[in-house]
Amino acid sequence: MPIDRRRLLFAGLISTYAPRLVLAAAPTERRLAVVVLRGAWDGLAVVPAYGDPAFAGLRGALDMGRPGGVEAPLDLDGFFGLHPALEPLIGFWRQGELLPVHAVATTHRGRSHFEAQDELEAGMPRVVGRADGWLNRALGELPSPADRRLALAVGPSMPLTLRGEAPVASWAPSRMPTPSADLMTRIAALWQQDAELGPALAEGLKAQSMAGEVLSGDERMGGGRGAGAFVAIARAAGGFLAADRGPRIAVLDIGGWDTHSAQGTVRGRLVQSLAPLGAGITAMAAELGPAWRNTVVLCVSEFGRTAAPNGTGGTDHGTGGLALLVGGAVKGGRVLADWPGLGRGALFEGRDLKPTLDTRAVYKAVLRDHLGVDVPAIERKVFPDTATIKAPQGLFRA
């Protein structure tokens, strides 16, 4: 069908004034929020293994010392600590709702952000002609609901994690003024018979309606750009997830983790992303309210960073990294790690934390024990040819 000037202007009206939210089936009262940390965060800074005999000497100027000192990490278990910028999460640790997963990685070893992020989100090594995400494939294995539940991507674009055959949702805050309900109703009546624009406008109005019910005016307008905007986005995601007929699955992301220089300890580039992450997860939990007890927040990054700092006070692309599980459904208060050690002979290729757990093992545990996806479906459809990758037991509350 030819697209004339009127149609282009009308399409612009929809995209400008309607938050991006499209409905998708996800039949569960369990909630899952996946936070993709783009740029590769330094797991040894976020959850430092200060108890490893080689840690302080290896980390050099990036070592914050032992817990109890000035500007030191918060103690977790006598061996691992937590970066003080994530102090808002320490309450979850004490309640048994925070579970760091250390020395985790995908199979990617090339240290390319783009290829590693593709594998992280696809849940498999790059396959030519395949462009679906592990969470979308998992959605296809959930039973159809009698009423509508939603899966939602929160942000300006649809992440690979949720791309695929299963219909999903997307919403992003708008900085533009919202048109009146009367205006939009009149426009909908004018175009309801149009095969292309009628359904698009209907979906836009549904999105606008849900956002209006769930979010405050400030949240609908967003919180700016960069890592600082994550708090507003995370709070909005919590509002959607908490709603009776809102989404049950959300995917968010936060960048700024590629700290090649001036990474710092309690000040520097790393803290500029860590502080919004901790504040954002806390804001999401507050918005979820009682639904927090049924929630898992999974934070993952494409790879770790070098164990030792480089010459510019930063860290370079590494291998073994860190995942975080947070939520009322998490059986935490411990660090999950088959710890390989940081002695020179134990480092991967002499420079990186050696990975001892496949990221897909964590994904499998989330799907099996939290969302209730059948193991045969996980092995056949979601992560084919991964039967030897076993999901750890006991990560979530029954």
Residue 396 lies in a domain: no
Residue 347 lies in a domain: yes
Note whether 298 and 366 are within 8 A (CB): yes
Residue 293 structural domain: 5-382
The pLDDT tens digits for 4-28 are 444 333 334 333 333 232 223 355 6
Residue 392 lies in a domain: no
Residue that has been written with the tokens 């109703």 in this structure: 185
Q: Residues 237-265: what's their mean pLDDT?
A: 91
**Least confident among 156-160, 310-314, 338-342, 377-381:** 156-160
The residues, any chain, with a CB within 8 Å of residue 79's CB and separated by 6 or more, are 49, 50, 51, 52, 335
Residue 27 lies in a domain: yes
Residue 397 lies in a domain: no
Q: How far apart are CA 319 and CA 110, in angstroms?
A: 9
We report the CATH number of the domain holding residue 276 as 3.40.720
Residue 388 lies in a domain: no
Residue 393 lies in a domain: no
Q: How far apart are CA 274 and CA 33, in angstroms?
A: 17
Between the alpha carbon of residue 175 and those of residues 15, 202, 204, 226, 331, the distances in Å are 12, 21, 16, 15, 39
Domains in the chain, number: 1
**Least confident among 52-66, 114-128, 270-284, 328-342:** 114-128
Confidence of residue 376 (pLDDT cuts 50, 70, 90): very high
Enter the DSSP assignment of 331.
-
Residue 142 lies in a domain: yes
Of 127 and 282, more confident:
282
